[in-house]
Chains A and B, each alone.
Chain A
Amino acid sequence: MREAAPQADLLRTHEVAKRYGSVVALRSASLAVAPGEIHALLGANGAGKSTLVKILSGVVGGDAGTVNVHGAPVELRRPLDALEAGLGTVFQDPALVPDLTVEQNLRLTGVSPERVRGWLAHMEVDVPDLDTLVKRIPLPILRLLDLARALAHEPELLMLDEITAALPGDYVDTVFGVMREWRAQGHSVLFITHRLGEVLEVCDRATVLRDGADVATVTPSEGDERTLVEAMLGEGAPTRTAGHRERDGAPEGPVVLEARGLTARTALKGCSLELRAGEILGVVGLEGQGQERLFDVLSGDRPFEGGELRVEGRPVKPRSPYDMIRRGVVLVPADRLHALLPQRSLRENLASALYNTVGSWLTPVRGERPAVEGTIERLEIDTRAQRQVRRLSGGNQQKVAVGRWLAAGFRTLLCFDPTRGIDIGTKEQIYRLLRELADDGAAILYYASEFTEAPVICDRIIVVYDGAVVTELDPAEADEATLLNAAHGLEENVT
């Protein structure tokens, strides 16, 4: 088969198209992956990357176009067809059933636990016990389990759909190691990511999708990040205008949110911070240093044991998020669908926070429409799939998550990794929005798992390590190396 193939490509798709109802997800995507290469698939959110991967993995059927493996056309009707054709996938969403153990999940898919265990050992991941319920396993480990399971099928082409989005840095390196090894064995990898740094680091070639069609195939080492971004966004790509702006002599705002020595079980060990009106305060930290708990506590979702929390000078001991929302402190979580009503419409979601303000059961909500319409306009939310929020793209969903607070009004915004898995264009819109909000006097606490983000949009940066704030940095001096050092709790005299 391989010898008889007219071309050397391992995988070649030709003008693949897919529409969901009236929404065109993929217009015409052509892609060629050679044997023994790591090939990046790039594109803004909604460009069609995930749809293409779903077609190639047999999860959805394409409407048009052909898929060839080693020159022979393949029909991909079910996930099993793809596996038999040598295409293995790690999907964007975890594909392990939460209420079953890992071992049962492997049996469900007919994968030998021994092989998976072998790969996990190879990756030096410490989960040899497969008799654990999947829902008890932290997300980063789940991603690696997904990867190990895909590898156990020995696919010729390994497709990774944003696997690094939910991974801390050390695991990203692990995944890169596996990808390189897979290439060294003569297999190929199709790698989808929003992090261009990763593309430059590990990929041999990259195909860029825009609006459902392939627009360029480049060799990343030749171009820089800029060209990739331009290819993704089309001509006239905006520059990073959202960069940190020195305030032109504006006075420091009053402290609106203050934490002093917060402790919570083993997660927070005396965490202190001051958040002022009109500023964006960045939080930086490695995975599991207590930042998640910090945001949970500040948003009233989980209790704290010791220390003090003050909102506008008054001590608060919130029992539920409602207590904080009432005081104008609201959360935008990383898991967008967790915060939204996925099956309800865009407008209902935007108005949902308004219902809190209804004074009496019988008073109709006033001013709902203008507030909602204004928000849609301001955030430039794509309203094509507005009937159900879960059908919106990730970036648009995140805009809705921010937007509903916009409609309801707030004074302090807690953003926990709001740009996870969002393309650059939408990211910049969100940066710009946050900056505008801060200029209008809002206080914003911003955590980003990507270290390059915080210096771009924040006025100050604090670093959390082992449940406490260990240092404060000036964004102007905080390059990635400085941040990494600080995040690892290393001595670095920058303050």
Chain B
Amino acid sequence: MTTATDERAGSSATTPGVRLQRWLRRHGWTIGVWLLLLAFILWYATLIPAFGEFQIASIARNSLPTVYLALAQSVVVIAGGIDLGIGALMVLANSASARLMEDQGFAMTLAIAVGVVLGAALLNALVGLLIAVSEIPDVVVTLGMLFVYSGLALLVLPSPGGGTSPGLRFLFTGSETGVGTNYWMPILMLALPTALLAWWMTRSRRGLSLYAIGSDLGAAYLSGVSIRRAKVVSYAVAGGFAGLAGIALTTLANSGDPRFINALNALLASLAAVVLGGIVLGGGVGSVVGAVAAGIILFTLNPILTAMGIDPNTTQVVRGVLIVLVMMVAGLLEWRRRRAE
């Protein structure tokens, strides 16, 4: 409206400075969350006497499942949906892989891992197809899937158990026993999928189509985007990452755990990471990179509070307060910006 003239005048000259400014503004949230994560880790470092490789490796390793699941949820939310079944799908992948991988060699477990990821992608693609064709709201269908996946997990693995190969444990955790100081491997496993997904989401035509349907269905359709296909793709990618999260869990614990509560906790963590990561529920806005930092932050709260000698049960409270606080700060900034206009 009133900015029309400013926009017209301002757009003609784009110096590197202007570009940098705009880049910072556009990715402000993502940068902010990463800075927050950095602050938390530094804080943690001052809290304990010996902060070193072991702690970094531990944080990177143990946040893997949450991060993968945050990526999964991000993709669906950016595309305008929401997947309540994602945590249960992770548990299903965890249970199935732990059962199948027990007493197998590295090559076999790797093959199983690939199979489980693809299987989870396919399963969730069907969910996406169901939503796209039936036009039943995402929440309803995926709520149903939460129970379906959880039930399947119990069928596959009735009680906690199973195992995996040391080689696969090394691949995800940087250690054949699940403990150690090698932090490069888990950080690589964090960074590589994130970078690939972020690149695909913002650079490829298919990835952009997910942003498009989340932002404005009508405009996306008029732009020639196949709404159904984009929807199915978003759920398939999310399923794949949920599968990956399940495998990561298996390698961390060297077993599977089919209990329902795990599915719920994981689901809520993924939603919290998405919100904290700056992805707008409703779609179209945000970056998967922000959700990764948010996922790690949510995880890091545990060791920090333990180091501070606070009852671990408080963690949940702190998590909740943190989310609301961040959202309030963001709301305040947005309000100030609007007023300035």
**What residues of chain A have their CB less than 8 Å away from a CB belonging to chain B?**
59, 78-80, 83, 91, 93-100, 104-105, 107-110, 126-129, 131-133, 136-138, 140-141, 265-267, 287-288, 290, 292-293, 296
Closest Cβ of chain A to B9, distance in Å, is 8
Most buried by A among B1, B211, B222, B341: B222
Q: Which residues of A contact B224 (CB under 8 A)?
A: 78-80, 83, 109
B134 contacts the other chain (CB 8 A): no
Contact B1 A100 (CB under 8 A): no
Q: Which residue of B lies closest to A268 (CB)?
A: B2
Question: How far apart are the CA atoms of A384 and B14 in the complex, in Å?
Answer: 51
Contact A104 B202 (CB under 8 A): yes
Contact A100 B215 (CB under 8 A): yes
B3 contacts the other chain (CB 8 A): yes
Closest Cβ of chain A to B8, distance in Å, is 6
10 shortest A-B CB distances, which residue pairs? A95-B222, A99-B215, A99-B284, A138-B4, A79-B224, A267-B2, A97-B212, A108-B208, A97-B215, A129-B14
B216 contacts the other chain (CB 8 A): yes
Contact B2 A129 (CB under 8 A): no
- SS class of chain A's interface: helix, strand, loop or mixed? loop
Q: Which residue of A lies closest to B204 (CB)?
A: A107
B254 contacts the other chain (CB 8 A): no
Known A128-B14, A129-B12; further 10 A-B contacts with Cβ < 8 A: A78-B224, A95-B223, A97-B216, A99-B211, A99-B214, A108-B205, A108-B208, A108-B223, A128-B11, A131-B22
Sampled A-B contacts (24; CB under 8 Å): A59-B222, A93-B222, A95-B218, A95-B223, A97-B212, A97-B220, A98-B215, A98-B216, A98-B219, A98-B284, A100-B215, A104-B202, A104-B211, A108-B208, A108-B209, A126-B11, A127-B8, A131-B19, A132-B7, A136-B7, A138-B3, A266-B2, A287-B4, A288-B5
Interface residues in B1-50 by Cβ distance below 8 A to A read 1-5, 7-8, 11-12, 14, 19, 22, 26
Complex partner residue of B11 from A129, A140, A266, A292, CB under 8 angstroms: A129
- SS class of chain B's interface: helix, strand, loop or mixed? helix
Question: How far apart are the CA atoms of A93 and B12 in the complex, in Å?
Answer: 26
Q: Which residue of B lies closest to A267 (CB)?
A: B2
Question: How far apart are the CA atoms of A80 and B224 in the complex, in Å?
Answer: 6
Contact B219 A79 (CB under 8 A): no
Contact A141 B8 (CB under 8 A): yes
Complex partner residue of A293 from B2, B7, B26, B215, CB under 8 angstroms: B2
Closest Cβ of chain A to B82, distance in Å, is 17
Interface residues in B208-249 by Cβ distance below 8 A to A read 208-209, 211-212, 214-216, 218-226
Q: Which residue of B lies closest to A168 (CB)?
A: B4
B156 contacts the other chain (CB 8 A): no
* A-B Cβ contacts below 8 A, count: 100
Q: Which residue of A lies closest to B14 (CB)?
A: A129
Q: Which residue of A lies closest to B286 (CB)?
A: A99
Contact A96 B219 (CB under 8 A): yes
Closest Cβ of chain B to A95, distance in Å, is 4
Q: Which residue of A lies closest to B280 (CB)?
A: A99
Contact A293 B1 (CB under 8 A): yes
Report the count of interface residues on B (CB-CB < 8 A): 34
Question: How far apart are the CA atoms of A104 and B226 in the complex, in Å?
Answer: 17
Complex partner residue of A59 from B26, B214, B221, CB under 8 angstroms: B221
Question: How far apart are the CA atoms of A129 and B10 in the complex, in Å?
Answer: 10
Q: Which residues of B contact A108 (CB under 8 A)?
A: 205, 208-209, 212, 223, 225
Contact A79 B11 (CB under 8 A): no
B285 contacts the other chain (CB 8 A): yes
Complex partner residue of A292 from B2, B220, B341, CB under 8 angstroms: B2
Q: Which residue of B lies closest to A82 (CB)?
A: B224
Q: Which residue of A lies closest to B7 (CB)?
A: A138
Q: Which residue of A lies closest to B220 (CB)?
A: A97
Closest Cβ of chain B to A335, distance in Å, is 11
Contact B22 A97 (CB under 8 A): no
Closest Cβ of chain A to B77, distance in Å, is 13
Given contact pairs A80-B224, A141-B8, A100 touches B14 in the complex (Cβ within 8 A)? no
Given contact pairs A93-B218, A104-B202, A265 touches B2 in the complex (Cβ within 8 A)? yes
Question: How far apart are the CA atoms of A134 and B224 in the complex, in Å?
Answer: 17
Q: Which residue of B lies closest to A139 (CB)?
A: B4
Q: Which residues of B contact A127 (CB under 8 A)?
A: 8, 11
Q: Which residues of A contact B212 (CB under 8 A)?
A: 97, 100, 108
Q: Which residues of B contact A293 (CB under 8 A)?
A: 1-2
Q: Which residues of B contact A98 (CB under 8 A)?
A: 215-216, 219, 284
Closest Cβ of chain A to B227, distance in Å, is 11
Question: How far apart are the CA atoms of A287 and B14 in the complex, in Å?
Answer: 25
Q: Which residues of A contact B3 (CB under 8 A)?
A: 136, 138
Q: Which residues of B contact A290 (CB under 8 A)?
A: 2
Q: Which residues of B contact A133 (CB under 8 A)?
A: 26
Q: Which residues of A contact B219 (CB under 8 A)?
A: 93-98
Contact B8 A126 (CB under 8 A): yes
Question: How far apart are the CA atoms of A265 and B22 in the complex, in Å?
Answer: 23
Q: Which residues of A contact B19 (CB under 8 A)?
A: 131
Q: Which residue of B lies closest to A57 (CB)?
A: B222
Question: How far apart are the CA atoms of A22 and B168 in the complex, in Å?
Answer: 60
Q: Which residues of B contact A104 (CB under 8 A)?
A: 202, 208, 211
Question: How far apart are the CA atoms of A141 and B1 in the complex, in Å?
Answer: 12
Contact A91 B205 (CB under 8 A): no
Q: Which residue of B lies closest to A149 (CB)?
A: B223
Q: Which residues of B contact A128 (CB under 8 A)?
A: 11-12, 14
Closest Cβ of chain B to A28, distance in Å, is 26
Q: Which residue of A lies closest to B339 (CB)?
A: A303
